[in-house]
A and B are shown apart, each in its own frame.
Chain A
């Protein structure tokens, strides 16, 4: 009983004051300082700012150090409209209409395989490898006008209609990747041979391009030939034309470059001497293993 306890204090203590008497912990001043109640908190805190308005800054930001404002790095907005433009690959467009026009004007010979050096020799396209340009892309304008079978090798195709337009006339399309060093050799072939450098070995595409060039739907050069045949049949049924008989085509239509090869008929590592009309081939073992790997 509390009365008994009080009498015991009187018996055993020298001096009894308010400060001497033992109190429950929650009523001591020390405890009250460490555990302020809601009203004291409100009187200490500011009446304005995000804390009083129940809107604290997001996680990871100290509200006391932020002094009621967001840190500078969060107040300044981010506008990533041109993010990744330094690494983006550019392809110059060539439409089916211009292709047909070049064939009609006899600037391109459709009986031979048409690839990048043939198209660059027409001097209609100025491809600059140091400006992140990686070749040509085929657009589908003029899909109804196109009517010659050709063996075309291009760097990018965006629309299925362009692929269908070429295959409908009996042609073949492959998309091919060239790295910038090989591209500078292809864009102006004569100038490259006059420089006196061996033909470079083409690199494999970068990681964000591998999915495109192994896709049979885009006729990538690293795609499985079985799947490419299926896709040709699928497109023929979708667009309503008949695939021509492959045995009636000239053997130049079956011609395809090796993934490391840049020019038709020339291997990487060879040195072309235009003046003496000769080709120099490396005989050393290490060069041979490098250029055949």
Chain B
């Protein structure tokens, strides 16, 4: 009897603590979050509106840095014996350029021109990293490189304006006229 009553008592205590934890009977001091941040859109860390890009950029816009994350594939490389053979800390990312919707269309031909050496015969862009000992860091490095390469490809040089062209022409003419006289 004693044992059973003890068990029942403990069970009720467990339930009540869980109830305490989840219940909305919360303690609010002067430093509670709704007083510290009265203007925040949502006090929950996990859910709420975000201003950073959460979706890929559509065909015509500027590249906004968002890469959809289901394009990774792991393997290892280099000396190190049993440890390097067993642990898979290298990261390789491949994606097909033409069918990638997250790269704006006007960047794709420039991208293909600039980075021919990284592109496959089938049209896959390959990048590999095994520079650190952590898989996550190598993954971060691959993605960072992809972003940097796409942004480099998206820079179009400004070109010369009409006035600049005229001044260059004038300078050339004056130089050549000096030469002829002499």
Contacts and interface: CB of A to CB of B under 8 A. Distances in A.
B20 A230 contact: no
B4 interface: no
B54 A239 contact: no
Contact of B44 (A144, A225, A236): A225
Interface in A248-269: 249, 251-256, 258-261, 264-265, 267-268
B50 interface: yes
Given A225-B40, A237-B65, A258-B26, A204 B48 contact: no
A222 B87 CA distance: 39
Contact of A225 (B37, B67, B72, B135): B37
Given A238-B143, A240-B140, A229 B50 contact: yes
Contacts of A9: none
Contact of B50 (A143, A230, A251, A259): A230
Given A168-B136, A225-B43, A241 B33 contact: no
B36 interface: yes
B52 A258 contact: no
Interface in A144-200: 144, 161, 164-165, 168, 172, 174
Given A230-B50, A241-B69, A225 B33 contact: yes
A8 interface: no
B47 A234 contact: no
Interface residues of B, number: 46
B136 A233 contact: no
Nearest to B41: A226
A251 B22 contact: yes
Contacts of B67: 237, 240
B137 interface: yes
Contacts of A233: 50, 52, 54
B157 to A, nearest CB: 28
Count class of interface residues, chain A: 35 or more
B6 interface: no
Contacts of B144: 238
B29 A144 contact: no
Given A144-B136, A240-B69, A251-B22, A204 B31 contact: yes
21 contacts: A143-B136, A144-B135, A164-B140, A222-B36, A225-B37, A225-B45, A229-B42, A229-B46, A229-B50, A233-B52, A237-B66, A239-B139, A240-B139, A240-B143, A247-B47, A253-B46, A258-B32, A259-B29, A260-B29, A264-B20, A268-B27
Interface of A: 112-113, 140, 143-144, 161, 164-165, 168, 172, 174, 201, 204, 222, 224-226, 228-230, 232-234, 236-242, 246-247, 249, 251-256, 258-261, 264-265, 267-268, 277, 291-293
Given A230-B52, A240-B72, 20 more contacts: A143-B135, A144-B89, A144-B134, A172-B45, A222-B36, A225-B37, A225-B48, A226-B37, A228-B45, A230-B50, A237-B65, A240-B69, A240-B142, A240-B143, A259-B36, A260-B27, A264-B21, A268-B29, A277-B13, A292-B30
